[in-house]
Structure 1
């Protein structure tokens, strides 16, 4: 059963504009794999920097048949993005790549099982 998109904001007030942008990106993921069961997004300001601007991170968790894919907007060693839009874009780009890899493995598994059955 498909669940509605869940969006959480941490250390920042929710914003209708950010929520709308997240929903647009989340809806596009269905083009790459139509059997997503659940989508959860956490938009966060992890640290309060006194000498720097805000830094944003976004985590996207996708539940797919038999697995859960979790990706983040920040790169290793990074403290996040200075732009909320860039953090959202990068997180959903990573989610799209993870979904494409999962879909490719899933298609390959289906083909190999069908081929094995034909050989029996």
Structure 2
């Protein structure tokens, strides 16, 4: 199943290699939920540092038929990464885990605690 994927590069020139890696990771998400409609990804430069390298962040949003799952909105002091490929892999790993959790909740496979 082909997922409609949009990729935006903010504050940096587009990279075809990074775009292909993101498209491949988005395609793999269909293994975890077969009802993903679209995936929107924004790769941005958080801060430009001369001596220590730039910090990149990746925000990803997957739209399912009944919900939207998002990752990458945490603004912690060390939330960025100096390598955009590593930042993209971390974002897609987190997105995959959240999609898996959403699918488990939807089908009722999550344990609930009994009231005391």
Q: Does the aligned pair in 1 maintain the 2:3–2:26 contact within 8 Å?
A: no
**Aligned to 1:94, what secondary structure does the other structure show?**
helix
1:72 Cα shift?
Answer: 1.2
Q: Which runs of 4+ in 1 moved over 4 A?
A: none
Matched, 1:38 2:38: yes
> TM-score if structure 2 supplies the norm length?
0.84
The answer for unaligned runs of 5 or more in structure 2 is 110-116
Q: Which moved more, 1:31-40 or 1:42-51?
A: 42-51
Deviations 1:16-50 (A, max 9, x none): 10100101111111101110011000011121223
Extract unaligned runs of 5+ from structure 1: 110-120
Match of 1:50 in 2: 50
CA RMSD of aligned residues (A): 2.0
- Give the TM-score taking structure 1 as reference length: 0.81
Decide which structure has the larger Cα Rg and report it. Answer: 1
**Greater fraction helix:** 1
